[in-house]
Amino acid sequence: MRPFTYERATSARDAAAKAARTGAKFIAGGTNLLDLMKLEIEAPAHLIDVNGLDFDKIEDIPGGGIRIGALVTNTALASHPRIRRDYGLISRAIVAGASGQIRNKATTAGNLLQRTRCPYFYDPNMPCNKRRPGSGCAAIGGFNRQLGVIGTSEACIATFPSDMAVAMRALDASIETIKPDGSTRAIPIRDFHRLPGDTPHIENVLERGELITSVALPKPIGGTHIYHKVRDRASYAFALVSIAAVIQKDGTGRVAVGGIAPKPWRVEAAEAEMPRGAKAVAAMLLDGARPTQHNQFKLTLVERTLGAVMAEARA
Amino acid sequence: MAVSTAPQLDAAELATASRPSEMPVSFEVNGKQRQLELDTRTTLLDALRDHLHLTGTKKGCDHGQCGACTVIVDGKRIYSCLTLAVMHEGGRVTTIEGLGTPDKLHPMQAAFVKHDGYQCGYCTPGQICSAVAMLDEIRAGVPSHVTPSLDQVPRITNMEMRERMSGNICRCGAYSNILEAMTEVAGGESA
């Protein structure tokens, strides 16, 4: 690990201003950042610990929605009575990911900002445009059965690994931030993560120093909440494919997909096909997919997992 | 991304950052207040093992994949390899040495001995710390991937305990005996 200086943030605005400087970075749960720092994939010169800030609450908001503080741990979020009752999709997605120890540390904002688990990103001996821009992509011609089939580019086929964010995408979450100048904004989750294009090292729309303070969920939409994750082992593994669905009694609903793209993948137009079945929805969701030889199975897996989810909702 | 216009750390700060940086930190470990002066890079795991010489907590993968480094901080089980010691100012840490002693074993330690919940023993301190805090999580109503309904409080079942212990790997494969040990400690609560 490279040396770094460390300080504890005293206010959100102060933290944002300090983090705007080159080489500075926020740390909260640290479960992903520290791992990457050990490998020197991340090498901040200065860490700003935001754990002392007052963003660890879950509160009702006017209009019937809920606001989740950026520092709320994954365990606390999944366990919260109102999240379990009105936003079960979030609870189910969180407990489908990581391990108990990780969920006790990992935060809501950190979960949204985690980096890909592409093995070539993690191996400093391999070219990777995300880790070292312009060096090439070893994954495209390599062992890529875990990697992305849609939204990818010639420069990068990495996937975004979060489960929680897939549920938040289906529920139209909004990500609330503060900038170094003290101004605030709310970013719809659909616009938050960027597709790689030729700049795969830029993963979201946050500006330098901009700090996530909370995530807001609109008022509950009812329906049956199902998060179905398919993975190589039954627990503590990243998704090959995951489906976050909210399905209403009349068969209409929403679907977001994880494990296949550089961001939680949702195509609202495809949801109109739900009464016609999983095949029709998957065809539209995956229109434009560019799978590799090793991961084209994911196209079939999305359709079949969605079929299973829709059958479960009818049962 | 306005990279070129971003304010820089000043020269003194950059010079400081390229050298190891030390900081004081104080937290409670197994009921005893400890004060340390640590390189900021020191993980909680390395602080416990190399600075406080509490070598019961083990370093397996050092990347949060194996669970050997599991300790209980402020009542919650975490991977001590994936957190910095300086982030735990004022915290309360319990390691395997703080759960019990050879003369006065914690019930989970005694149950691991009785049920032979290990072979080589390397993962055992992490398994035991994890198991103790895991049962507390079920009692507190934390749901898991196998909890049948989010409307109901989870029960202590084999399925629940197995799922919740997936962050602790045992290369020797003592899982069935570990499960017996946890079941005995859960006692009458177990379904």
Residue B190: which pLDDT band, with cuts at 50, 70 and 90?
Answer: low
Chain B residues closer than 8 Å to A34 by CB? 43, 82-84
A35 vs B187 pLDDT, higher one: A35
Residue A311 CA to residue A250 CA, distance in Å, equals 13
In total, the C-beta contacts within 8 angstroms joining chain A to chain B are 142
Count other C-beta atoms under 10 Å from residue A133's C-beta: 13
Give me the mean pLDDT over the A57-81 stretch: 98
Strand order in the sheet with A5-8: A5-8, A46-49, A24-27
Distance CA A90, CA A244 (A): 9
Question: When comparing pLDDT for B187 and A237, which is higher?
Answer: A237
Compare CB distances from A95 to B1, B39, B143 and report the shortest one's residue. Answer: B143
The dihedral of CA A15, A21, A24, A25: what is its sign?
positive
* Non-local CB neighbours of A105 within 8 Å, separated by 6+ positions: A29, A30, A31, A73, B78, B79, B82, B83
Mean pLDDT of B79-99: 98
Whole-number Å distance between alpha carbons of A102 and A246: 26
Q: What's the CA angle centered on A134, arms A132 and A137, to 5 degrees?
A: 80
B101 close to B38: Cβ distance less than 8 angstroms: no
- Scanning B130-189 for CB atoms below 8 A from A yields 130, 133-134, 137, 140-145, 147, 150-151, 163-168
Confidence of residue B191 (pLDDT cuts 50, 70, 90): low
Q: Do A202 and B140 touch (CB under 8 A)?
A: no
Beta pairing class for B32-39 and A24-27: unpaired
Give me the pLDDT at residue B128, please.
98
Alpha helix locations (H) across chain B? 11-18, 44-46, 96-99, 107-114, 124-139, 158-164, 175-186
The Cα A115–Cα A270 span in angstroms is 28
Residue A17 pLDDT > 90, yes or no?
A: yes
* Percent share of chain A, pLDDT over 70: 100
Short-list A225, A36, A37, A187, CA closest to A109: A187
**Å between B108 CA and nearest CA of chain A:** 18
Residue by residue, DSSP assigns B62-92 as SSSSS-TTEEEETTEEEEGGGSBGGGGTT-E
Q: What is the pTM of this model?
A: 0.96
pLDDT at B5 over 50: no
Q: Quick one: pLDDT at residue B54?
A: 98
pLDDT digits 0-9 by tens, A92-150? 999 999 999 999 999 999 999 999 999 999 999 999 999 999 999 999 999 999 999 99
Amino acid type, B4 = S
**Once rounded to an integer, what is the mean pLDDT over residues B97-104?**
96
- Residues in chain B with CB shorter than 8 Å from the CB of A236 are 166-167
pLDDT greater than 80 at residue B71: yes
Mean pLDDT of chain B: 93
Test the B interface: residue of A10, A101, A179 with most B CBs within 10 Å: A101
For a pLDDT cut of 90, what percent of chain B falls above it?
Answer: 87
Is A30 close to B19, i.e. CB distance below 8 A? Answer: no
Q: 3-state DSSP call for residue A47?
A: strand
- Using CB atoms, pick whichever of A49, A100, A105 lies closest to residue B164: A100
Least-confidence region, from A169-178, A258-267, B16-25: B16-25
Q: In this model, does residue A246 exceed pLDDT 50?
A: yes
Question: Does position B87 have pLDDT exceeding 50, yes or no?
Answer: yes
**ipTM of predicted assembly, 2 dp:** 0.97
Residue B69 CB partners (closer than 8 Å, separation 6+):
B45, B57, B58, B59, B60, B62, B79, B80, B81, B126
Comparing A244-253, B8-17, B91-100, B165-174, the range with the smallest average pLDDT is B8-17
| pLDDT band with cut points at 50, 70 and 90 for residue B16 | low
A75: chain B residues, CB-CB within 8 Å: 76, 137, 142
State yes or no: pLDDT of A310 exceeds 60.
yes
When scoring B18, B123, B145, B182 by the number of chain A Cβ atoms within 10 A, the one with the most, hence best to mutate, is: B145
Q: pLDDT category, B3, cuts 50, 70, 90?
A: very low
Mean pLDDT within A40-57 = 97
Separation of alpha carbons A129 and A241, rounded Å:
24
Burial of A47 (0-12, 13-18, 19+ CB in 10 A): buried
The A-side interface with B (CB below 8 A) comprises 1, 3-6, 8, 20-24, 27, 30-31, 34-35, 38, 45-47, 49, 51, 75, 78-79, 84-85, 88, 91-92, 95-96, 98-102, 104-105, 202, 207-208, 234-236
Paired with A247 in beta bridges are A224, A253
Report the distance separating Cα A298 and Cα B3, nearest Å: 37
At B18 the pLDDT is: 76
Answer whether residue B21 shows pLDDT above 70.
Answer: yes
pLDDT of residue B1: 39
Beta-carbon separation of B143 and A91 below 8 A: yes
Q: Provide the pLDDT for residue B10.
A: 64
Cα-based torsion angle of the residue sequence A84, A259, A228, A170 in order, rounded to the nearest 10 degrees: 50
Angle B159-B160-B166 from CA coordinates, rounded to 5°: 90
